[in-house]
Structure 1
Amino acid sequence: MIGKGAEKSTLSYLKWAFIFTGVGLVLGAWLGWQTTGTLSGMATVFFICAVLAVLEISLSFDNAIVNANKLKDMTPVWQHRFLTWGIVIAVFGMRIVFPLLIVVIAAGIGPFEALLLAAREPAEYARIMHEAHLPIAAFGGTFLMMVGLTYFFNHEKDVHWIVFIEKHMARSATVKGIEIAFVLILILVFSNLLEGEAADTFVYSAIYGLLTFLAVEVIGGLLDASQRAMSEAAKGGLGAFIYLEVLDASFSFDGVIGAFALTQNLFVIAIGLGIGAMYVRSMTIMLVDKGTLAEYRYLEHGAFYAILILSVIMYCQTLVHIPEVITGLGGAGLIGISLWSSIRYNRREQQAEALAERG
């Protein structure tokens, strides 16, 4: 385990996230003053950083739950590596390097030129990012859809929240590759709704997303199998680490692109989303330490339903604009309902046990 969860309060888990929030908001205010030279400009950038942080947290509830589900089976060494190196990759890699890389590829310029473009011509930088939205949405949506479907299309899954749906999906899992076939059908449907070059871009990007998921699954399995061959204690090592990093990247796609609707400044986006990423890390540690997933029976189900909804929204965003607030509230709402269902289930079980003892 990561720590002694029973001995720590919820606030203690959020200590570093609070510290990072304070530093980030001060840095955002300073950046606002440096770029505008006015108190109103400083307040505006401060507010945008705060809104981006809330947006990232709302979009990442399901990310924290899925991380915790995978993390609880990892060795303490790899848990520590994910929560240290992983957060560096998440904050600096996906929130800074990834947007730069998109512009480098799309505009055919070098990394340093892309950084200068972000600093000197934020409007042009944002335009290039928005033009790259379609392939990113197709790639990330496909990867996340495979993550969600693989959870439900599992013949060994015997705990069901929405029984009439999940029971049929678990039974259908005996048909090999059924989740891949489902995704391929959706890719064809959405590509037919697009025209010309956009349709081709969508198909190619979606296929790359599918291949990336399969590659991560295969590589992760091989790496962890080789580690288990050396030592049984090494399970859930490098393969699980790679899986979680790619998963975090896929979750970040929507937040990074959506952030440009609020500001075109790369550095403001990095501060706001970075604050949100620290809360995801804190929530992940708390879920593992306290055994929350085991305590609340349907919480994990809600997270994976939220992943499926997010993947469909990313597909739909290739056709129409969907406000990020809807995406965030939708995922948080599903997780909230699954938590409420879990609490009701626990109460019924406690009442049944009490009646049995009296009888």
Structure 2
Amino acid sequence: MLLKTFGWSFVVTAIGLAAAVLYGGWTAFGIVAILSVLEISLSFDNAVVNAGILKKMNAFWQKIFLTVGVLVAVFGMRLVFPVVIVAVTAKKNPIDAVNLALTDKDQYQQLVTDAHPAIAAFGGMFLLMIFLDFIFEDRDIQWLHWIERPLARLGKVDMLSVCISLIVLLITSMTFAAHAHQHGGAHIDKAQTVLVSGVAGLITYLIVGGLSGFFEDRLEQEEEREHEEEEAARRTGKNRSAVALAGKAAFFMFLYLEVLDASFSFDGVIGAFAITNDIVLMALGLGIGAMYVRSLTVYLVRQGTLDEYVYLEHGAHYAIGALSVILLVTIQYEINEVITGLVGVVLIGWSFWSSVRRNRALAATEGKDVTSDKGAEVSSGV
């Protein structure tokens, strides 16, 4: 099971590290290895959240996630995305941006750094909406009851998460963005950039998340209707339309996963520049890490880990909330990537341990019930 799930990740690791040695020697080998570990540590919460979505898909779409999705993640976000940033912010065509990345790495890094406020605002707002929609939902299983119960009651207010996100964005643009530069005229430009990028992140979440949720709900309704009226569905062709609907639902859920992965990738791509400004080494290291994140996602789905450790998803979403705040703060202040990674690891580790304790408590309770039932049977027999 382990080899089947992580086999391609092992192959990509071997190829990537070998390519690093051929490209830049053992120094490049070390840089790629560090970048791989960085990507995995920063994206573990991504794997947990992705698993919660991916388990709703069939085996076909899980394979699409591991093939087409990997191409989008590795080549799109880890290789093309940094180049696009430079092309847009520096108003260069893509070919010039690639030449700049390969020939003048210092200037390339500076241009990406200048684009960071826009990236952080977009990713921060997208991730913040994920966290708020999760925390405001009334759930049967709650982890931190003292905070989740009152927030679930507040969640009954329509559009509360959108309102809070817009307030956070407005405060961010008036504080962190306003102090991002020391030149008077640049303050307004930076604030406007953060506002526009943040609104774009919010709109992206509403569109993609809304479409995936809409088709998922329609699919569930259709399946329930088919179960009740199977014969009538066959005569009227409902069965064929349901198959098409399932394709739409899976497609938009896949699209949602890709946008979600892109938002998670922002901190990894930006953080990679603290280690190297070589675009080739960056693509190799982050690409290897992305492969392991995807394999881990599928592993969690196939092992049913989220069903066994019920608080893992909670911990991952709290990590998402922390990451969204960190991204917004980094518009003005620099935060070490080690801190970012540790926050996610601590929250997920805490939720995992809470799940273990819950399972032990339930097992102990069931054991007592079984013992008492046996005792009652013996007593009645006597």
Contact kept? 1:224, 1:238, Cα under 8 Å: no
Residue 25 (1) aligns with residue 20 (2): no
Taking the aligned partners of 1:256 and 1:246, their CA distance within structure 2 comes to 15
Over the residues paired in the alignment, what is the CA RMSD in angstroms?
Answer: 1.6
What TM-score do the two structures reach when normalised by structure 2?
A: 0.86
SS of the equivalent of 1:61 reads helix
1:234 maps onto 2:217 in alignment: no
Q: Per-residue displacement from partner, 1:238-294 (whole Å, max 9, x unpaired)?
A: 110110010000001111011011101011000000010010111011101000000
Unaligned runs of 5+ in 2: 179-186, 223-237, 373-382
Q: Which residue of 2 aligns with 1:69?
A: 52
Q: Secondary structure at the match of 2:208?
A: helix
Alpha-carbon distance in structure 2 between the residues aligned to 1:265 and 1:256: 12
Superposed displacement of residue 57, structure 1: 0.2
Between 88-97 and 71-80, report the one with greater CA deviation: 71-80
Structure 1 stretch displaced more, 50-59 or 228-237: 228-237
Q: Quote the sequence identity (%).
A: 47
Contact 2:66–2:295, Cα closer than 8 Å, also in 1: no
In our comparison, the structure showing a higher alpha carbon Rg is 2
**Number of matched pairs:** 341
Are the equivalent residues in 2 in contact too, given 1:68–1:285 (CA < 8 A)? yes
Amino acid across the alignment from 2:329: C
Within the candidate set 176, 192, 196, 1:200 is matched to 192
SS at match of 1:14: helix
Structure 1, 225-234 or 96-105: larger mean CA deviation: 225-234
Indicate whether 1:43 and 2:26 are aligned: yes
Q: Does 1:179 align with 2:161?
A: yes
8 A Cα contact 2:62 2:298, kept in partner:
no
Can you list the C-alpha shifts for 1:62-92, whole angstroms capped at 9, x where unaligned? Answer: 1111111001111222222122101110011
Check if 1:318 corresponds to 2:363.
Answer: no
Cα distance in 2 for partners of 1:223, 1:238 equals 9
Distance in 1 (CA, whole Å) between partners of 2:289 and 2:364 is 39
Instruction: Measure how far apart 1:46 and its partner are.
Output: 1.1
- Higher deviation after alignment, 220-229 or 305-314: 220-229
Q: Which amino acid aligns with 1:14?
A: F
- CA drift at 1:225: 6.3
Question: In 1, distance between residues paired with 2:170 and 2:96?
Answer: 37
More deviation in 182-191 or 87-96? 182-191
Q: Which residue of 1 aligns with 2:208?
A: 216
TM-score where L is the length of structure 1: 0.91
The one-letter code matched in structure 2 to 1:327 is T
Conserved? CA contact 1:75–1:234, under 8 Å: no
Q: Which AA in structure 1 matches 2:128?
A: M
Equivalent AA in structure 2 for residue 175 of structure 1 = V
**Counterpart position of 2:283:** 270
> Structure 2 vs 1, CA of residues 147 and 307 (structure 1 numbering), >3 Å: closer, same or farther?
same
CA contact (8 A) 2:32 2:284 kept: yes
The equivalent of 1:331 in structure 2 is: 344
Cα distance change of structure 1 residues 341 and 252 upon mapping to structure 2, 3 Å threshold = same
| Structure 1: gaps of 5 or more residues | 1-7, 33-41
Tell me whether 1:151 sits opposite 2:164 in the alignment: no
